[in-house]
Structure 1
Amino acid sequence: MLFQLSLDVDAHIASTPGSRETAVGGVTRGRLGPGDTVTWRAWHLGVRWRMTSRVETEGWDEPRTFTDRQVRGPFRAFAHVHTFVPTTAGTLMIDEVTLASPLLAALSERVVLVPYLRWLLRRRADLLVEAAERPRPPLSTG
């Protein structure tokens, strides 16, 4: 369930309320799949961002892992590996981000950007877990 939610554009938007994220290009609703792109527009750290990401076909292993990578945007490089590990208590979600920013010196990147991304990803993960655990209405048979 968390694997699918992590690929859902609408769930992504709902899980990032403070940044006013919207999908403005590529797949803008529903679930992303291997090879799909989405262009996001958002406000982060007081700056308007626009980034196009592609869900990589290499490394796609549903329901265990997938990677999205920036193909156009503010970073010199940005890759986000999503890993889902079943446990006896549910599913462990692991986010691993590799980035390089042309706008910030290495120190600013470590002091400002990396802690902000950690906070953002933790908040997003918490909201996705809430959505996955939310009771769903029964299906209608009539």
Structure 2
Amino acid sequence: MPVIELVTHINAPIGKCFNLARNIDVHMLSTRQTGEKAIAGRTSGLIELNETVTWRAKHLGVWQTLTSKITEMEYPNFFTDEMVKGAFKNMRHEHYFYSINAQTLMKDIFRFESPVGMIFDIIFLNDYMTRLLEKRNALIKEIAEMS
């Protein structure tokens, strides 16, 4: 199963970064190139522990629907979202936040497995998912450091 690990340094307090990372509206802004919209469950604002969100987006030329659930949360240090329904065989995204001298180190660990197979996942999907996560993190950083 592929694992993507990203680290983003943000010049902003940990609580602000944590809340931006779980903000549905910020997520939709970061994925506007895919037309991603929250269509069920929590559809705006801050998603909380045990809440779900259903996303609809066009990925790889195909409209897809994915429902994820916040399965773990410890404010402001950690939360996990996991796919409960969608195109992946499985998907788990762990979000970690570390406060360092009034700044934040945000770490993502994203594990996924598609139904297509490991070779497709490693050769193609890994890069695609990495780019999506990098765009998301860049927007979180930009917003957090603005104010």
1:22-41 matches, cutoff 5 A: 22-41=37-56
Q: Which has the higher strand share?
A: 2
Q: Equivalent residue of 2:74, what SS? A: coil
1:60-79 matches, cutoff 5 A: 60-79=73-92
1:101 to 107, 114, 132: 114
Q: Which has the higher contact order (CA 8 A, sep 6+)?
A: 2
Give 1 or 2 for the bigger CA radius of gyration. 1
1:18 to 2, 17, 33: 33
Q: Does 1:131 align with 2:143?
A: yes
Take 1:47 and 1:88, find their aligned partners in 2: how far apart are those partners? 44
Q: Equivalent residue of 1:56, what SS? A: strand
Q: Deviations over 1:92-130 (max 9, x none)?
A: 11111111111x221111011111111110111001111
Q: Equivalent residue of 2:67, what SS? A: strand
- Which sections of structure 1, spanning at least 5 residues, go unmatched? 136-142
Q: CA deviation at 1:88?
A: 3.1
1:113-128 matches, cutoff 5 A: 113-128=125-140
Give the number of equivalent residue pairs. Answer: 132
- Which sections of structure 2, spanning at least 5 residues, go unmatched? 1-15
Q: Does 1:81 align with 2:94?
A: yes
The equivalent residue for 1:3 is 18
Q: Equivalent residue of 2:80, what SS? A: strand
CA RMSD of aligned residues (A): 1.2
